[in-house]
Chains A and B, each alone.
Chain A
């Protein structure tokens, strides 16, 4: 349902004003978008697929898919309560930082295989 809204109200121009085509910046933005999102991973695949179809780079989409599950800014307060401040902040920060090189590596390896 949200995708219908997304496809109707978010034009390619709006999307490209956010994702400029610069690999590192796009990957960072993809990772940030995934970090602030929450929900079933199915949603991340569907949104990622749509973003890819609309022309967003695979680098950004890969980082987005990764941080959707591994980084959870929305769940962070709960994670801090249950597992401690140090553990939660450290785990989320490391996951966010590593999502960028891992996304780059995924796409580069994919290109090598093609």
Chain B
């Protein structure tokens, strides 16, 4: 039930809102519905391309691949792989949490986890839609900066982890002395 609500809750909420508005102000509710239809028709071409790309990605990229990507812990290769894992991962974030928890328990660093989560903002399969709305120049700049931003977020999150380790090590050493 919770899962169904998570998946369809938003749509259900909007439908309920429409029903309420049809009762209160039918004319405006009908205008809103017509406008929604207009938006949908307008969006159909880029949205279709986006969904085909998403379907293909879902077909070929499985969570086990992402898990392998994030498993690489060291060096530039690890950074590239956690970036790629974030970019190609699709689906709602809560669906990824069990995998992320598992990976963390197996030793994946905070850097890679944060990098993965931030890179989820880069959506190559939604590029047709982004270009449709904001133009290719914006899409290019925005996506490059998103990747750089992810690295920055991951570095800052990781820095505090390292500081925490250093503090605990120094406390441990003091206790030993």
Contacts and interface: CB of A to CB of B under 8 A. Distances in A.
Interface in A68-114: 68-70, 72, 75, 78-79, 82-83, 86-87, 90-91, 94-95, 98-99, 102, 105-106, 109-110, 113-114
Given A62-B142, A70-B117, A90 B157 contact: yes
Nearest to A113: B137
Tell me the interface secondary structure of chain A in the complex.
Answer: helix
From B17, B120, B146, residue with most partner A Cβ within 10 Å: B146
B61 interface: no
Determine the interface band of chain B, counting residues with CB < 8 A from chain A: 35 or more
A32 B120 CA distance: 19
A66 B21 CA distance: 31
A110 to B, nearest CB: 5
B33 interface: yes
B17 A72 contact: no
A49 B17 contact: no
A41 B121 contact: yes
A66 B118 CA distance: 9
B101 A70 contact: no
A46 to B, nearest CB: 7
Contacts of A2: 14, 36
B160 A90 contact: yes
B135 to A, nearest CB: 8
B120 A82 contact: no
Contacts of A83: 97, 100-101, 104, 113
Given A4-B32, A86-B164, A90-B160, 7 more contacts: A1-B11, A45-B129, A48-B133, A83-B113, A87-B161, A99-B149, A106-B138
Contacts of A9: 28, 32
Interface in B1-41: 10-11, 14-15, 17-18, 21, 28, 31-39
Given A7-B32, A69-B121, A42 B134 contact: no
B149 A1 contact: no
B160 A42 contact: no
B28 A46 contact: no
B43 interface: yes
Give the top 8 A-B pairs by smallest Cβ distance, nearest first. A4-B36, A49-B133, A69-B121, A4-B32, A8-B32, A4-B35, A82-B97, A82-B101
A113 to B, nearest CB: 5
A48 B134 CA distance: 9
B97 A78 contact: yes
